[in-house]
Amino acid sequence: MENTLLVGLSRQVTLERQMDVIANNVANVNTNGFKANRSMFQEYLMATAREDNFAAGSDRRISHVMDRATLHDLAQGSPDQTKNPLDVAIAGDGMFVVQTPAGERYTRDGGFQIDNQGQLVNASGHPVLGNNGPIRFQQTDKQINIAQDGTITVLEGTNRIDSIRAKLRIVNFTQPQRLRKEGSNLYSLGEGNAAQPDTKSVLHQGFIERSNVNAIVEMSRMVEVNRMYSHIASMLQQQHDLHRTAIDRLAEVPA
């Protein structure tokens, strides 16, 4: 009976973790550029017979559930046209680079703005990086244009001269699944990972990438996980009752 309780408990622990992942996905269904997480489980086989007098191959193995990892779903979110010249969506695997007090961080959220110092910043106020560092504009710059390769041009001054201000730095990663979410829609590299220039992604000005979370699918998963958790709880309660009944019956045996 203890084996049944342990197996059921191992599944409940993983279901609780899966519910946390699903709840986080649902909470970010409207977060621009958000990438959903997925849970990955693994079967863990444990032999229960350990004595030397068991014949070879006769040990019965108990199958437990192990929470192996949480994976990033890096599928493309749907683009939404905003017509804001500072909104940029990436079609491809690349990410924007921003400078934070903790170092360079990466994001798919291309909802940018210009701060009081004329710097291009993200929603949290962190400078967006180009190939040559932070991107700055002059007060006389007009009609900001961002090409598909990330080149930023403006009409400068009263002469309306087309000038290149910078080129957005777009990177991809050698181990994208090792990216670590740090909040505020930012990623850090994670151990054993490296950023490299991305030359294949295409940028679309005036668009924003929405979250790739499908709210209907996630809510269905939440209901499924909740039902499974309740079913296992009921099973464990039945096993507990059987265990208690067995002890009561043994206590009634006359000495």
- Give the integer Cα–Cα distance in Å for 166 and 173: 22
- Provide, rounded to the nearest whole percent, the portion of the chain with pLDDT above 90: 58
State whether 101 and 142 are in the same domain. yes
State whether 14 and 53 are in the same domain. yes
120 alpha-carbon distance from chain centroid: 25
Q: With bands split at pLDDT 50, 70 and 90, how would you rate the model's confidence at 1?
A: very low
Among candidate residues 244, 238, 192, 252, the one with its CA nearest the CA of residue 5 = 238
The answer to whether 18 and 223 are in contact (CB under 8 A) is no
State whether 70 and 93 are in the same domain. no
Domain span including residue 223: 2-74+213-251
Q: Where are the beta strands (DSSP E) in 1-60?
A: 37-47
Distances (CA, A) of 97 to 19, 20, 105, 189, 228: 31, 28, 6, 11, 41
State whether 146 and 113 are in the same domain. yes
- Mapping DSSP to helix (H, G, I), strand (E, B) and coil, where does residue 158 land? coil
Checking if the pLDDT of 227 tops 70, the result is: yes
* Polymer length in residues for the chain: 255
Checking if the pLDDT of 180 tops 90, the result is: yes
State whether 187 and 102 are in the same domain. yes
Helix (H) or strand (E) holding 145: strand 141-146
Least trusted range by pLDDT, from 133-137, 215-219, 243-247: 243-247
State whether 237 and 195 are in the same domain. no
State whether 164 and 48 are in the same domain. no
How many domains does the chain contain in total?
2
Predicted confidence (pLDDT) per residue in 138-163, tens digit: 888 889 999 999 999 998 766 666 78
Among candidate residues 109, 37, 33, the one with its CA nearest the CA of residue 77 = 33
State whether 65 and 94 are in the same domain. no
- Give the integer Cα–Cα distance in Å for 170 and 152: 13
Predicted confidence (pLDDT) per residue in 27-43, tens digit: 999 999 999 998 876 55
Checking if the pLDDT of 197 tops 90, the result is: yes
Q: Is 143 exposed, middle or buried (0-12, 13-18, 19+ CB in 10 A)?
A: exposed
State whether 18 and 83 are in the same domain. no
Entry pTM: 0.78
State whether 92 and 70 are in the same domain. no
The answer to whether 44 and 66 are in contact (CB under 8 A) is yes
State whether 116 and 179 are in the same domain. yes
Q: Interior CA angle at 26 toward 43 and 125, to 5°? A: 115
State whether 85 and 198 are in the same domain. yes
* pLDDT for position 251: 67
